[in-house]
Amino acid sequence: MVFPLAGSAQYYFHNNRAYDSDWIVEAGTTLGGMNALTDLGENKGLGRFYKQTNLSGGFYFAGMYRSMIGIRLEGCLGSVEEADSIQSNKSAANYQNTRNLSFQSKINDIHVGIEFHPLFLPSLIYPREYPPLLSPYVLAGVGFFSFDPKAEFNGQWYSLQPLRTEGQGFPGYRDRKPYSLQQRNYHVGAGIRAELTDLLVARLEMDYRVLSTDYLDDVSQTYIDPSLFFQNLPAGQATLASQLFFRGDELTPPTSFTPNAGRGNPKDKDGYFTLQLKIGVMLGRQRR
């Protein structure tokens, strides 16, 4: 049922205390955890999640059409980290144990997306007295993110991208181009939205970022001959690269590598995700 209130906007019963217009705006903040799926660290099990999850937060704005379809802008700040040292499989046959690599990276992420709340679909066909208080939804979007994988060495953190740890751009490795630290990502996720009051809502949401890069952790392909660092990089960078591209010599007992042997798995691209609580306010809802 349509109610002509102020102006020409169309308003509908939301509940016995408020009206909704066709479009309302939801604005809020987010807080939760961020984790990555890369070549490093634990590949399965719950261990990798509680050991490597870092704090993340941000903001969002969503235009909601009849609470069913939303168009959203969201920004998120966080960080990811992984380390071969957390591997539960300590077998010598597990090459991650002999590799002994680790990384950390800050993540700055902004995206636009669409969300769909299926429980509100019947309201387009027949009116319902009150909307559901809990609404599951799915989402998809596209965005941009920045990252900068770093490794710790002798108490200092060094950016790995300038070190060309897998020979990116070197003669003989032209297929390995230096990767950009600002790239596109694709979002897929799901959540549940709860109406706390007529003006306040809460969401619990998981959002996975699909990446086109395998270098979120600076690991993807094969080892190179470390002499190539000294042929293609300034002396200081070459020395640092030769110390950081393989860390098995820091183990007890030390391990070794073979040039052109696998350092990572280029078939599986890296990714990262957030699990967040969102608190928002509704703008455009009218009191009855």
The Cα–Cα gap between 33 and 55 comes to 5
What pLDDT, on a 0 to 100 scale, did the predictor assign at position 109? 98
The Cα–Cα gap between 141 and 97 comes to 37
The Cα–Cα gap between 160 and 163 comes to 5
Q: Would you say residue 108 lies in a domain?
A: yes
What pLDDT, on a 0 to 100 scale, did the predictor assign at position 81? 94
Q: Would you say residue 185 lies in a domain?
A: yes
Q: Would you say residue 79 lies in a domain?
A: yes
Q: Average of pLDDT values for 208-220?
A: 96
| DSSP helix/strand/coil, 242 | helix
pTM of the model: 0.86
Is pLDDT of 3 > 60? no
**Structure-token match 């549940």, residue found:** 192
Count of structural domains, the chain: 1
CATH number of the domain to which 20 belongs: 2.40.160.20
Q: Would you say residue 117 lies in a domain?
A: yes
What pLDDT, on a 0 to 100 scale, did the predictor assign at position 243? 97
Q: pLDDT class for 2, splitting at 50, 70, 90?
A: very low
Q: Would you say residue 167 lies in a domain?
A: no
Q: Would you say residue 229 lies in a domain?
A: no
Q: Would you say residue 241 lies in a domain?
A: no
What pLDDT, on a 0 to 100 scale, did the predictor assign at position 91? 60
Neighbours of 102 (CB within 10 A): 20
Of 14-28, 53-67, 248-262, the one with minimum mean pLDDT is: 14-28
Q: Would you say residue 232 lies in a domain?
A: no
Distance of CA 119 to the CA centre of its chain: 27
What pLDDT, on a 0 to 100 scale, did the predictor assign at position 9? 44
Higher pLDDT, 154 or 93: 154
Q: Which domain holds residue 33?
A: 3-147+181-221+270-287
